[in-house]
Amino acid sequence: MDKVNAGVLKAKAGLRQFKDTQANVDYSSRSQEYGKHVKIYKEVALQVKTRNLFGKLSPDCIALDIACGEGDSATCFKEFEEKDGTVVAVKAPLVKRVEYFDNNQDMVRKGAERGQIEDEHVKFGDVKDGLDYPNSSFDYVMSRFFVHDLNPDQKSFFAYDARRILKPGGKFQVVEMIAGDRETQDFVSHQHAMKTKTTYRECWVPTEDEYVALFRAMGFTDIRTDRHFSYVDTMQWLLEKQITEERFNELNELFRQAIKNRPAVRDYFNLRESGKGSILVYYPLLLICGTKPEK
């Protein structure tokens, strides 16, 4: 436990060394045509980027998808069929086995019904309580669109625990939203805290520098990154019952105020009115992957 505490404190210090720098991304080629995008979880381009960042997958290796949901993220470890840029079916694994960890039994059940998840390889639990796996269990560990729901201390513990269950030479990858500077960080963290049906949830979205600092503090080496974008129409959140109509209106108003009064936020997230009563948002994503040293 002393090693865990020391690791968490070290990561916490690194994570909070914030730099007010703009993200080094060229937005000049951003598409203005919203509404024609593929749902991000099923997007072939993101699966390919995720797989490439891991490097060549070995058929003898074991992978773990943390906060797996319906198992879409783990598609990167499998052969799949695609149509018009969307994954439409998964086939045989490219690794020996994929295991899944989540606290939502309903989502996992839906994934199993879709043939995305094998029931015998599922474990349920709360990441905040630790990952219930022995040391050095996996060759690949990944998590997508989950870490923003953890506070800085929980992020540090999560990264430490992911490193613990990796085999020496194993790789850990996170795919997440990122902020560009302090203003966009405050905005997107608050916005996502609001994106719930009930009371505000805890949410903290780091910058790329902070993610790199976290991975380094946890002892990961060969840290590599890539970028992607997630196109969102806030109407999707309402139609998918992620939020109530009241919260939908509150979030739209938050975005409209940013469009009018916060040009840095407006430009970073490419905020636009849809013309149909909702807001169009362009979330920058970071893919970051690190290797656990052999010794």
- pLDDT band at residue 295 under the 50/70/90 scheme: confident
Is residue 253 situated within a structural domain? no
Least Cα distance to 286 among 150, 193, 100, 148 occurs for 148
Q: Give a yes or no: residue 27 inside a domain.
A: no
At 202, the pLDDT band (50, 70, 90 cuts) reads confident
Q: How would residue 6 be classed by pLDDT, with cut points 50, 70 and 90? A: low
Digit-coded pLDDT (tens) for 72-122: 999 999 998 888 888 887 888 899 999 999 999 999 999 999 888 988 999
The pLDDT tens digits of the residues spanning 120-155 come to: 999 999 999 999 999 999 999 999 999 999 999 999
268 in a domain, yes or no? no
Q: What is the pLDDT of residues 218-269, one digit of tens each?
A: 999 999 999 999 999 999 999 989 999 999 999 999 999 999 999 999 999 9
Rounded to whole angstroms, the Cα distance separating 162 from 106 reads 24
> Is residue 248 included in any domain, yes or no?
no
**Distance between CA 42 and CA 141 in Å, rounded?**
19
* Range in 8-22, 47-61, 187-201, 280-294 with the lowest mean pLDDT: 8-22
Enclosing domain of residue 154: 2-20+35-181+202-232+282-291
Residue 194 lies in a domain: no
Asked if residue 141 is part of any domain, the answer here is yes
Domain CATH number, residue 44? 3.40.50.150
- Interstrand relation of 62-66 and 221-233 (parallel, antiparallel or unpaired): unpaired
Q: Is the pLDDT of residue 30 over 60?
A: no
How do strand 166-177 and strand 97-102 relate by DSSP bridges?
unpaired
Domain count, the chain: 1
**Amino acid, res. 212:** V
Q: Is residue 158 part of a domain?
A: yes
Residue 191 domain-assigned (yes or no): no
Q: Among 5-9, 15-19, 68-72, whose mean pLDDT is lowest?
A: 15-19
Q: Residue written as tokens 């309580």?
A: 129
| 262 phi, psi to nearest 5 deg | -130, 80
Q: Tell me which residue has tokens 């509150």.
A: 250
CA-based R_g, the chain, Å:
19
State the average pLDDT over residues 154-161.
95
| Average pLDDT taken over every residue of the chain | 87
pLDDT value at 5 more than 90: no
